Amino acid sequence: MSIHINAKPGDIAKIVLMPGDPLRAKYIADHYLDNVKKVNETRNAFYFTGTYKGKPVTIGSSGMGCASIGIYSFELYTEYEVDCIIRIGTCGGYTADLKLLDLINVEAAVSESSFAKYAWGIEEDRIAHQGNAFSVIQETAKKMDFTLRNEAVHSSDIFYRKDMDVPAIALKHHCSAVEMEAFALFANAKYTKKNAAALLTVSDIIPTHEKISSEARERSLLPMIQLALETSLQL
Pick the piece of the chain touching ligand HPA (CB under 6 A) from 38-46, 69-77, 87-95, 96-104. Answer: 87-95
3-class SS at 39? strand
Using CB under 6 A as the binding rule, the residues of this chain from 160 to 179 that contact ligand HPA are 178-179
Question: How many of the chain's residues bind ligand HPA (CB under 6 A)?
Answer: 11
In the complex, minimum distance from the CB of residue 81 to ligand HPA, in angstroms, rounded to a whole number: 30
Q: Does 159 bind ligand HPA (CB under 6 A)?
A: yes
Contacting residue, 83, 204, 210, 218, with ligand HPA by CB under 6 A: 204
Q: Are 196 and 185 in contact (CB under 8 A)?
A: yes
Closest CA to 62 of 116, 30, 15, 25: 25
- CB-based contacts of 210: which residues, under 8 Å, 6+ apart? 100, 204
Q: Are 18 and 86 in contact (CB under 8 A)?
A: yes
Closest CA to 177 of 188, 186, 167, 187: 167
Pick the piece of the chain touching ligand HPA (CB under 6 A) from 11-19, 52-60, 88-96, 123-131. Answer: 88-96
Q: Does 21 bind ligand HPA (CB under 6 A)?
A: no
118 residue type, one letter: Y
Q: Does 106 bind ligand HPA (CB under 6 A)?
A: no
Contacting residue, 58, 62, 90, 232, with ligand HPA by CB under 6 A: 90
3-class SS shares of the chain: helix, strand, coil, % to 5: 35, 30, 35
Pick the piece of the chain touching ligand HPA (CB under 6 A) from 85-93, 130-138, 183-191, 225-233. Answer: 85-93
3-class SS at 154? strand
Active site residues: 204
Residues forming contacts to ligand HPA in the complex (CB under 6 A) are 90-92, 156, 159, 178-180, 203-204, 206
